[in-house]
Amino acid sequence: MAQKELDIPVDGMHCSSCSLLVEKSLGKLDEVDSINVDLNTNKAHMVLNDKISPDIIDKTVESVGFTVPKEEVVIQIDGMHCASCVNNVEKFLPRVDGVVEANANLSNQKVTIKYYRDMLNLKEIQKTIEMLGFEYIGLDGELDVMDEEERYQKDLRGKLYRIIVGLVFAAILMAIMQFHIMIPPLTMGQLSLIIAIFPFCYVSYPILKAGWNSFKHKNLDMDVMYSMGILVAFVSSVLGTFGIVLDSSFMFYESAVMLPSFLTIGRYLEARAKRKTSSSIKELIGLQPKTATLVTVDSEGNPVEKEIDIEDINIGDILLVKPGEKIPADSIVVDGESYVDEAMITGEPVPKLKKAGIDVFSGTINQDGALKIEAQKIGSETVLSQIIQLVEKAQGSKPPVQRLANKIVSWFIPVILTIAIIVFLLWYFVAGSGLLFALTCLISVLVVACPCSLGLATPTAVTVGVGRAAEYGILIKNGETLESSKDVDVCVFDKTGTITEGKPEVADIETFDMDESEFLQILSSVENNSNHPIAKSILNRFKADNIKLANEGKEDIQLLAVDDFENVTGKGLKANVSIGGVNSPVLAGNLKLMESEGVEVSEEVLNKFNDFVSDAKTTIVMAVDGEIKGIITLMDKIKDSSKPAIDHLHKMGIETYMLTGDNEKTAAAVANAVGIDNVMANVLPNDKLDKVQELQKEGKRVLFVGDGINDAPALSQGDVGVAMGNGTDIAMESGDIVIMEGDLENVVASIQFSKKVMTRIKENLFWAFAYNMILVPVAAGILYPIWGIIFRPEWAGLAMALSSVTVISLSLLLKRYVPPIKKQVA
């Protein structure tokens, strides 16, 4: 291989020692002849003697403590018709300098390109796309939706006109051939040529142009094969017309016009069907409002309303949303009260009451009252925009099962061409069936073989399935997750916020030699330094008591000064609190904390503690100056959906575990209430990770369900990580699957979606394989010796066109799919 130069960015270098370390590590690779690392530009310039995998470069640089930064861009192209087209795009784009990887999606004609940061050369990418015979449309995010729709409609019209012209003239040609029509002095062949030449050129032009572009650049794809079949039919007919080599029996004019007409019919139906596969994402994009009403104040202090474009909204702007209008940006309500329909984002059909201080989200619909809102997030930062980005990325991903199809497709066309030639030679030279029959079989084999259905089997099912799941508020992030989710046999749940609501409320306060208000004041002063949900619940009770005092005209109670605050992991809190001007040590936590700090626990306290715990209450003991002064309990309500979801998992043969930092009795009470198989209590965050790893070592495939924040290690370790949200309050980057509304039934539904989509992919692939395995031999004439059946080229072309449409139609059935657990609930 000739030497090739490669520049890569390197992050993390701060001195000459860093650059020398990178040079030394990369210089050891066999493929690297020479290397120079420039500290000023943070780039490494390499001269290579052989092709090198980006993964090897990444691992080498990371092994010495640095990173190779990459970014992604999505481009829209047009003209990909089969899996061979996809393979060619993915094969040639990484040859462009700076491009690491390309992932083409046949269903939506988009290509996701991963490239080294600051090294994107769009002109070279466009040149490569056009060299391969495809049309470069532009960067996905910069395309106008209306222009895209107009381009789509124009393409459909063009195909429809060609279909009409092709079928009308094919019918005329068939009539001429059938009834031997002649107009002296023209022979039947000459008349057919005059009638066929215009429609043939018009209908075949897009196919022949694409085929020539591919052939010119040494790319064997479907257009090349089909062009060969069409041209063989037409050229044979012309030669037969004028008696050049062939005689007048070689008349394929009707086939020459029918073949491109049938292919165009297939592509017309395919284009319409593919459009439907991405309807879910278009509906999400359609949720984004185009304008907003900005509220400002004039020089006299009067409010002024002004309609502005959505792009002109700034963070902090006050916006007015009238009944029936869409929320224009992620905002907080500053005035007004209304119910807002968030079903399009969360999948939850019941509208939610929104009033001052509550968040609202872009794209959701205000129902009955006017709201004034303050913009908090705009543009690509809104929850709706993040959902759209996530779903689009997932729809473009490929599950591992696609690799089999890709391997087959890479050999498909060379094998079909070989079969076609062998079939011709066998019939003509071995069987002696004559040139006409051998030529008919050759053309039929060329046009009947279809890698298109193989290429569409996976992306169409993934696109429709992921979009359908998003309608239920289930965001599946990639194709790999679909394949992993269908095989899970263990489901591990965090308790708080997953099985329970995650919003504990104070249930009981039991004090010993201390007034309840003083007890709550001291405890709240300590808890005010923690951001744990329990701390927030205790502070909410403290604030509620103060509101009662204010309503009674009494002076509210202030929090006390705290220092030396310490969070003792798995036990509770320690601090010094200023009580009556004296710093007193205060402990708030479980009995383990009391024991470790040498605090005596009386029998009365122990009995009370055990009684509360047996009622599944989270119980906290507080001690002041080494003496227990009271017990406070909190109840976290179990979600209504938890028990039905756990029951459904058991019916599916999936074992369940619950991991919690709570005590054994509380954990057991919750587990018994919902039917969990196995329970681990008093678990620290790292213990959750260890338990997941332990289950995986036993050969089990683990799905971990958590809140996406505190359970990050376990979510990452699980074969599938499911992050539970509460409405729209969730980090989108958490987990492999994001449940927008914290409903455990959607965890079950996500598994059912995965099973259904993977089943549909396998059905599609089966159909694609079976079609080719059955019809290629039939086209080759295998039925002729026994039954005298010949598969005419025009019918072979129709069968090929319908095979792709069949696969897409099977995928579109997923749009009607309702997970069994949702049927049960309904």
Residue 637 burial class via C-beta count within 10 angstroms: exposed 0-12, middle 13-18, buried 19 and up: exposed
DSSP-based helix, strand, coil % in the chain, nearest 5: 50, 20, 30
CA angle 679, 685, 689 (to 5 degrees): 75
Specify the 3-state DSSP secondary structure of 450: coil
DSSP character string of 337-401: -EEEE-HHHH---S-EEE-TT-EE-TT-EE-SS-EEEEEEE-GGGSHHHHHHHHHHHHHT---TT
Query: CA-to-CA distance for 171 and 316, rounded, in angstroms?
Result: 67
Specify the 3-state DSSP secondary structure of 72: strand
Cβ contact 696:689 at 8 Å: no
> Taking the alpha carbons of 660, 666, 671, 673 in that order, is the dihedral positive or negative?
negative
C-alpha 431 chain-centroid distance: 54
Question: Is-catalytic flag, 223?
Answer: no
Query: CA-to-CA distance for 206 and 78, rounded, in angstroms?
Result: 12
Specify the 3-state DSSP secondary structure of 298: coil
Query: Pairing between strand 562-568 and 572-579?
Result: antiparallel
For residue 722, the cross-strand partners are 705, 737
Specify the 3-state DSSP secondary structure of 202: helix
Nearest to 792 by CA among 802, 781, 782, 801: 781
End-to-end CA distance of the chain: 64
Describe the strand order of the beta sheet including 99-105 as a list of residue ranges: 99-105, 110-116, 70-78, 135-139
Query: CA-to-CA distance for 36 and 24, rounded, in angstroms?
Result: 10
Query: Of residues 221, 317, 494, 743, which has the active-site annotation?
Result: 494
For residue 622, the cross-strand partners are 588, 630
- Show the beta-strand stretches assigned E in 125-241: 135-139
Angstrom CA distances, 230 to 29, 169, 227, 243, 656, stand at: 50, 16, 5, 20, 60
Tokens, residue 826: 């309904």
Locus of tokens 């079969």 = 419
Measured from the Cβ of residue 27, the count of other Cβ atoms closer than 10 Å reads 16
Cβ contact 695:718 at 8 Å: no
> Taking the alpha carbons of 238, 241, 245, 246 in that order, is the dihedral positive or negative?
positive
Residues classed as catalytic: 494
